[in-house]
Amino acid sequence: MAPVKVVIHGAAGRVGQVLLNNLFKYPDVKIVGAVDLKTPGEKVTLGDGSVIPFSSDLEEMLLNHRPDVVVDFSLAKAVLPAVRVCTSQRVHMVIGTTGMSSDEINEIARLAESNRTGIILASNFALGAVLMMYFAKLAARYMDYAEIIELHHNQKLDAPSGTALNTARGMLAYRGRPFAQSDDVGRGFASRGEVVDGVPIHSVRLPGLMAHQEVIFGGPGQTLTIRHDTINRECYIPGVLLAIKEVVKRIGLIQGLENILGLQGL
């Protein structure tokens, strides 16, 4: 089977650079181009010695190099324009950018369906993080109190993180009833975090951190902590690779990596 041809959108960013430096190692994937507003030049050399074009114009890249999939780790404001360009040319997408509104996500779903294009949108491509969210949903049915602490580097642009928001929402959906609330609820203490679906989320932003999350459950005489730590951004490679190979088989929007891992039963 021929490798899936891929263009990286947001290639000058931190995750984009990790993708350029690692995806070429896998025979199932062939990187045919890189796109970012900040271009280092017209070409970039990958670790295997191959040279690919680097452009600030996504539409031109698609027309000239005909990828099967665009992998997007750019900025929230850049995602919907990129989706419009890709779906108009029937190019599938894997999107790891977070911070889009519900209206923007609905528009992405509409564009994918109307153009018969597959799009996988996930807030986290680290398989351990996806499992952490899955286990948190399981625990939510049996533990009445829960809070989330998410810790990221100080240059992250959104808070709470998309992973934390999706964790809280998934926990409530699987639990099927509201979480019990601590006695201080309603008193307006700013230090108690942002409450999402009954779960307080606390966001830490510090240099030296990557991406970390704790889901802490409480009950009479016990607590349960589920934690995931990202050591470096290479943790995203297996999840992105899986999504690239899967999205070319799909039509429409798929939200969450769990839906291609067989964990969607919860």
- Entry field: residues in the chain: 266
| pLDDT at position 266 | 59
* C-alpha span between 66 and 179 (Å, rounded): 49
* Residue 187: half-sphere exposure toward Cβ, Cα within 13 Å: 8
Q: Active-site residue numbers? A: 152, 156
| pLDDT at 90 (0 to 100) | 97
Q: Given this model, what pLDDT does residue 142 score?
A: 96
pLDDT at 162: 85
**Rounded CA separation 244/4 (Å):** 8
Q: Report all structural domains of the chain as residue ranges with CATH numbers, in order of start.
A: 4-121+233-260 (3.40.50.720), 127-230 (3.30.360.10)
Q: Provide the pLDDT for residue 265.
A: 62
Residue pLDDT, tens place only, 81-92: 999 999 999 999
Residue with tokens 């999504």: 243
Q: How far is CA 150 from the centre of its chain?
A: 15
pTM for the model: 0.83
Which residue, 52, 6, 56, 10, is CA-closest to 26? 6
Q: What integer pLDDT is reported at residue 190 of this predicted model?
A: 83
Strands ordered across the beta sheet of 211-219: 194-196, 199-205, 145-152, 211-219, 222-230
Q: What are 126's two structure tokens?
A: 């680290």
The CB density around residue 32, as the number of other CB atoms within 10 Å, is: 20
Name beta bridge partners: 52: 44
CB neighbourhood size of 79 (10 A) = 25
* Burial (CB count <10 Å: 0-12, 13-18, 19+), residue 76: middle
H or E, element range at 17 = helix 14-22
Q: Which residue stretches of the chain have pLDDT < 50?
A: none
Classify 60 as helix, strand or coil. helix
Closest CA to 52 of 103, 2, 16: 16
